[in-house]
Amino acid sequence: MDNPLLAEFSVEAGELLDESEDALLELDKGKDPQECYNLVFRCFHSLKGSAGMMGLDDMQKHMHLVEDRFQSYSDKVEDLKGMVDYFLMSIDVAREIMKGNAVEFDYRVDQVFEKEEQDEFDELSRDLFKRMELPILVVGSGKASAKSIIESLPNKEVFCVATANKLDAVKELSKPITIIVKEEHLTSVTSYLEDKSDEHTLIVWGEKAHDKFLVWNEAMGGDALRIIIETLSENRVLKFAYNKAVMLLLYQLSDIEDFLIEKKKAHILKTLKVEIKELMEIKAKVRK
């Protein structure tokens, strides 16, 4: 920027937006809502005032409307957690305005909240999801609050669904995928998928340790998430292929058993059954 004042404002605005975003993400993880509210409100208010002094009308107007919506939670800060995605989206819009881009934003809190709760997994998204080689599915979050995951996996296609009852598309898959589940949705996801959950890589997004699943959270960083996914996914794909091959052998054996007996090749049949039994024993160990 040629104007040093605008350049200074741009740096300050970026820091305020980053600080607000971090506080909202901490709120989403369970940090004290009043503390988060105070910090974010201060940032929003400062940015609105600075934009006004700099004559940046679009930014000033945007932050005024966002601050107004945010302030409506001053007496009910415990409800803010349900609106984290909305205010994260408003921060993304502010960044785009800073770049000089025109962005449409629906300032109606109830309308945006309703869309986030519905989290439409439309037919187009479902079709793409099914065709992707190794998609990542985040359960319990919209794309705004899953931003840290999406940015950590730039080479992956990440899909988000709000609740476990959106997982019928997973049941229809004939390949293993990675599912990142918010801690509070883990029970509903495993219950909904039933035996199908063992076919996929489940990673718990939260703070508590789990006996059966690996856990990841933002404090561990994006590199840790990538390593977890790559390691578990590779093992899961191999196990899936192995299980599929064993089941195919069993299916084929039932077809050729009568043929081998008829051709007086019972010794071949016996050998096949011994080998398949060993494979089944390995399959059982792999499942554990």
pLDDT at 271 (0 to 100): 82
Flag the least confident range among 91-105, 149-163, 164-178, 217-231.
164-178
* CATH code that applies to domain 4-116: 1.20.120.160
Mean pLDDT score, 69-77: 89
pLDDT tens sequence across 89-119: 899 899 989 888 877 777 765 544 444 444 4
Q: Strands 178-182 and 201-205, how do they pair?
A: parallel
pLDDT tens sequence across 5-42: 788 888 999 999 999 999 999 998 889 999 999 999 99
pLDDT at 42 (0 to 100): 94
Q: How confident is the model at residue 120 (pLDDT cuts 50, 70, 90)?
A: very low
- Domain 118-228, architecture per CATH: 3-Layer(aba) Sandwich (3.40)
pLDDT at 44 (0 to 100): 95
pLDDT at 108 (0 to 100): 67
Q: How confident is the model at residue 244 (pLDDT cuts 50, 70, 90)?
A: low
Distance of CA 245 to the CA centre of its chain: 31
User: How far apart, in whole angstroms, are the C-alpha atoms of residue 190 and residue 109?
Assistant: 32
Tell me the percentage of the chain whose pLDDT exceeds 90.
Answer: 20
User: How far apart, in whole angstroms, are the C-alpha atoms of residue 67 and residue 64?
Assistant: 5
User: How far apart, in whole angstroms, are the C-alpha atoms of residue 104 and residue 90?
Assistant: 10
Flag the least confident range among 32-41, 193-202, 264-273.
193-202
pLDDT at 117 (0 to 100): 42
pLDDT at 268 (0 to 100): 81
Sheet holding 201-205: strands in order across? Answer: 158-161, 136-139, 178-182, 201-205, 214-216
Task: Round the average pLDDT of the chain to a whole number and report it.
Answer: 79
Side-chain-facing half-sphere of 69: CA atoms under 13 Å: 20
Contact 200, 158 (CB under 8 A): no
Distance of CA 217 to the CA centre of its chain: 11
> Which residues face 178 on adjacent strands?
136, 201
Amino acid in position 193: L
Flag the least confident range among 142-146, 172-176, 254-258, 284-288.
284-288
Between residues 274 and 10, which one has the greater pLDDT?
A: 10
How far, CA to CA in Å, does 232 sit from each of 41, 203, 213, 214, 287? 41, 9, 10, 9, 14
pLDDT at 36 (0 to 100): 94
Mean pLDDT score, 48-77: 90
Residue 266 tokens read as: 């019972």
Predicted TM-score (pTM) of the model is: 0.44
Q: How confident is the model at residue 233 (pLDDT cuts 50, 70, 90)?
A: low
Say yes or no to pLDDT of 196 above 50.
Answer: yes
